Amino acid sequence: MATADKQRIRTDRADFLAYRTLCPTCAAPVGPRFVTREHLDIPPDPPYAATVRCPKGGETFEVLFLEAR
């Protein structure tokens, strides 16, 4: 699936690392274990975004990390 076709969500990096980010389709918690690719081309600090595969439904989506406060 092309990146432009994937659903994108925004979340805080700390929430993602603590598995407090939810799949937009089925609300299963996702985190670093489910990353299939990191993206370094979206600011502020690498990694800026990640492609994630849901552990429950298998959907693939982009997680864009919010800027650090």
Give the SS3 label for residue 15.
helix
State which residues form the domain around 44.
3-65
pTM: 0.78
Domain count, the chain: 1
pLDDT tens digit string along 3-58?
A: 456 799 999 999 999 999 999 999 999 999 999 988 776 565 566 889 999 999 99
Burial 7-18 (b: 16+ CB within 10 A, else e): eeeeeebebbee
pLDDT grade for 66, boundaries at 50, 70 and 90: confident
